[in-house]
Structure 1
Amino acid sequence: MFLSNDDLVELTAFRRQLHRFPEISGEEKETAQRVRTYIEQMKPDRIIEGLGGHGLAVIFEGREPGHSLLIRSELDALPIFEKTGLAYSSQIDGKGHLCGHDGHSTILVSLGLGLSRQRPQKGRVILMFQPAEETGAGAAAVLADPRFAEIVPDVSVSLHNLPGLPLGHVSIMEGVVNCASRGIKISLSGKTAHASSPEQGISPMLALSELMPALVKLGIGLPKADEPFLPGSDFRMVTITHASMGEAAFGISPADAELWATLRTLSDDNMDTLCAQAEALVTDIANKNSLKFSIAYDDIFLHCENSPEATTHIITALKAENIPYAEDFLPMRGSEDFGRFGSVSQSAMFFLGAGQNHANLHNPDYDFPDELIDIGARIFMRIIRNING
């Protein structure tokens, strides 16, 4: 135990302060500043601001040469109204920390407290407060920032809280732990007409109504109701998330429509296949209906894969801290942009139970369990001491 009860009271208050003022992806300026103001009193050796946007890298150097270890959290919140009714609930309408990134960042702040009291014996520890995880853009932007070349790690680790898993239990495994996903935006364009003479125009209505079920049918290995589901290697899934057509008027037969969907696969290779299938389907249906079309992609997440070496570091720490672990709920259908750190280092992510009956992530009644601050910090600090001394 490196955190006292007084420490945990103060850290909990800090987490709830972050919770009250959420900022969505790309807008995390004030959140990053709150973290910096709080952690700079711990006298780290270096702080890099504005990394990949509003990212913050807080660096503690060891006394001897050794491995460079990066531990990542996320700064961003979600564009969702919070409905917890808590005294510290969001003060920003339409935005809320409903994924627990406020808690993850507080865990990293607690590591700063521990490292300020006892520097690593060797190597370097980088506390990476990453922006824009929810859009899939943040990790890529951090890696592309020229200043990241100065702190490229040997090992990268991260966590995410997981409702449904018993409080304080961990789920971890080698290999793919999060699916690849991306948003596809399909725009259809025809010709308007008077609503009394729709035959004089080219409406996207039939194409839109055909595309939605056809895209969903591209799925393979989908879950069945009331059955446990683990995605297999051929898993593919399409979820329709938004559709719009024409103007809000009764006198116009529409010309334009837009359809958004999320494509999801277990591997990046399968994502390429699914994208090709979706594009071929759009082309066929649009041409059949004499429509012009365009396709764009957004919110691009690569699959997240745990390396054997980094996974071993985490499991060794779990055993030392007597924290129960298994492979429950893995691999997950949800996506995570942490996988991009695997392109520059050994990397692994573990999932920390938020409670079996806890509100789900991205739900308006979700809140991060403060009990996880101490547990997450203990796991990471054990990893630090095992690798860096």
Structure 2
Amino acid sequence: MEKLAEELQKIRRDLHQNYAELSTQEFRTCQRIQELLKNLKRTKVFPIGKTGVMAVFEGKEKGKTIMLRADTDALPIEETNDFAHRSIDPNVSHKCGHDGHTTIMIGVAEMLEKNPINKGKIILLWQPAEENGMGAKAVLEDPQFENLKPDMVFALHNLPGFPLHKILYKDGAFTANVKSLIFDFHGKTAHAAEPEHGFNPAFAMAEILEKSKNLTHNRPQDENFFLITPVYADLGTKDYGISAGKGSLHLTIRSWSPQLFDQLTNELIEFAAQISERNNLKLAISWTQEFLSNQNDKKAVEIIQKSAEELNLNHQKIKDPFKWGEDFGLFTQKIPGAMFGIGSGENCPALHNPDYDFPDEITLTASKMFYQILKNAI
């Protein structure tokens, strides 16, 4: 196992340095994964979802079909680390650990090659475009996925702030429902000295932001957790003699409950429509980057707990879900399964921070965990 750990570290650092690609652009990463798997004799490897990769292991005996998923895309973040495997792209880097997740699944493939599970069918998925919520949909809509029909699906995410190797899991919601709402306002420009002759969206935008603040209940421990975060705003132009005639406001919204999400977002949209009409503004509404909540199946969680116990890993059933969105939620909405976490260090920089780097120490642990889950689930 020590040799495998060294091999996986080299792979992970190569991916970090040379294969940081944005969502839906993971063409080189897709090719590299297939190259790394080309010597495996017990599996069928093929691209899926345009820039994803899938490996299917067929057992000799009948059994369940179990899918494990990793993600592959990077983020538009300039890296501040100065280590040898720093990203060669100054504008893109692996700041969520997907280079590590990809490597973990390569480790699982190596384990299955050397010690096959000769029952059922095992699907390993390297999913693209997790960060923009488009990857799971692309895989599910690929005709090649149609006949696979997994009985159960599993995924993990590394978790800064928790001890290295610690396994975290829970029943029900593991991550939030997350969706981004865009308001585009079209009014009428006027002279800045005579704004009464135009229709400026500024004050309507201010009222909507205030409404968003009032609707927010940012207490993750409560069932009615609901959070609206302003992420982008644009108003007029930098012409100081012109009263703005157009504006745009982007909000990211998250909750545990899909029902509460719909209820409160509908309230906000209705409010925005009323305010816009009152201010003689045309309002266009659109949505982007939808992440459905990861709904962990109870039986799948039991398999995760059992696997952690059998590997003598530090593990914990947590109470509250995580506030971030995860594209794996689309799978768990359709197929029984679960996402779990693995600690990436109490002092590890947070996800999406420019100084974050996936800890190589946990790669082999995570690969072993996935392999054990397969043995218990199949």
Output the TM-score relative to the length of structure 1: 0.94
Question: Which residue number in structure 2 is paired with residue 322 of structure 1?
Answer: 312
Question: Which residue number in structure 2 is paired with residue 29 of structure 1?
Answer: 27
Q: Aligned to 1:148, what secondary structure does the other structure show? A: helix
- String of CA shifts for 1:333-375, please: whole Å, max 9, x gaps: 1111212212442201110001111100011110000011111
**Equivalent of 1:374 in 361, 364, 375:** 364
Question: Which residue number in structure 2 is paired with residue 110 of structure 1?
Answer: 107
**Equivalent of 1:295 in 272, 285, 289:** 285
Unaligned runs of 5+ in 1: 224-229
Q: Aligned to 2:145, what secondary structure does the other structure show? A: helix
Question: Which residue number in structure 1 is paired with residue 255 of structure 2?
Answer: 265
State the alpha-carbon separation in 2 of the partners of residues 122 and 177 from structure 1. Answer: 29
* Matched ranges for 1:152-191 at <5 A: 152-191=149-188
State the alpha-carbon separation in 2 of the partners of residues 174 and 202 from structure 1. Answer: 50
State the alpha-carbon separation in 2 of the partners of residues 387 and 198 from structure 1. Answer: 66
State the alpha-carbon separation in 1 of the partners of residues 14 and 319 from structure 2. Answer: 31
Residue 93 of structure 1: how far off its partner (Å): 2.1
- String of CA shifts for 1:185-242, please: whole Å, max 9, x gaps: 100110112333322211111112222222122112x24xxxxxx3322111100011
State the alpha-carbon separation in 2 of the partners of residues 147 and 193 from structure 1. Answer: 56
Check the 8 A contact 2:170/2:319 in 1, yes or no. Answer: no
- String of CA shifts for 1:33-71, please: whole Å, max 9, x gaps: 11110012223431231x223111111111111111100
**Equivalent of 1:275 in 265, 271, 280:** 265
* Matched ranges for 1:300-319 at <5 A: 300-319=290-309
Question: Which residue number in structure 2 is paired with residue 133 of structure 1?
Answer: 130
Residue 329 of structure 1: how far off its partner (Å): 6.6
- String of CA shifts for 1:287-315, please: whole Å, max 9, x gaps: 12111111100010111111011111111
Check the 8 A contact 1:44/1:60 in 2, yes or no. Answer: yes
State the alpha-carbon separation in 1 of the partners of residues 346 and 93 from structure 2. Answer: 22
Residue 84 of structure 1: how far off its partner (Å): 1.6
Question: Which residue number in structure 2 is paired with residue 357 of structure 1?
Answer: 347
Residue 16 of structure 1: how far off its partner (Å): 0.8
Question: Which residue number in structure 1 is paired with residue 206 of structure 2?
Answer: 209
Check the 8 A contact 1:231/1:266 in 2, yes or no. Answer: no
Question: Which residue number in structure 1 is paired with residue 59 of structure 2?
Answer: 62
Distance 1:212 1:118, change over 3 A: same
After alignment, is 40-49 or 349-358 more displaced?
40-49
Distance 1:44 1:56, change over 3 A: farther
State the alpha-carbon separation in 1 of the partners of residues 246 and 221 from structure 2. Answer: 36
Answer yes or no: is 1:124 the counterpart of 2:121. yes
Q: Aligned to 1:290, what secondary structure does the other structure show? A: coil
Question: Which residue number in structure 2 is paired with residue 232 of structure 1?
Answer: 222
Check the 8 A contact 2:37/2:45 in 1, yes or no. Answer: no
- String of CA shifts for 1:66-95, please: whole Å, max 9, x gaps: 111100000111111111222111111221
Note the aligned Cα RMSD (angstroms).
1.4
Residue 380 of structure 1: how far off its partner (Å): 0.8
State the alpha-carbon separation in 2 of the partners of residues 243 and 172 from structure 1. Answer: 36
Matched AA of 1:171: L
Residue 385 of structure 1: how far off its partner (Å): 2.2
Question: Which residue number in structure 2 is paired with residue 73 of structure 1?
Answer: 70
Q: Aligned to 1:296, what secondary structure does the other structure show? A: strand
Unaligned runs of 5+ in 2: none
Matched AA of 1:188: F
State the alpha-carbon separation in 1 of the partners of residues 373 and 210 from structure 2. Answer: 47
Question: Which residue number in structure 2 is paired with residue 226 of structure 1?
Answer: none
State the alpha-carbon separation in 2 of the partners of residues 333 and 78 from structure 1. Answer: 19
Q: Aligned to 1:106, what secondary structure does the other structure show? A: helix
Answer yes or no: is 1:19 the counterpart of 2:9. no
After alignment, is 110-119 or 255-264 more displaced?
110-119
State the alpha-carbon separation in 1 of the partners of residues 278 and 32 from structure 2. Answer: 55
Answer yes or no: is 1:9 the counterpart of 2:10. no
Matched AA of 2:276: A
Check the 8 A contact 2:295/2:333 in 1, yes or no. Answer: no
After alignment, is 331-340 or 180-189 more displaced?
331-340
Count how many residue pairs are aligned between Structure 1 and Structure 2: 377
Residue 262 of structure 1: how far off its partner (Å): 0.5
Check the 8 A contact 1:153/1:344 in 2, yes or no. Answer: no
After alignment, is 315-324 or 146-155 more displaced?
146-155
State the alpha-carbon separation in 2 of the partners of residues 374 and 218 from structure 1. Answer: 44
State the alpha-carbon separation in 2 of the partners of residues 75 and 152 from structure 1. Answer: 22
Residue 247 of structure 1: how far off its partner (Å): 1.4
Residue 25 of structure 1: how far off its partner (Å): 0.9
**Equivalent of 2:245 in 240, 251, 255:** 255
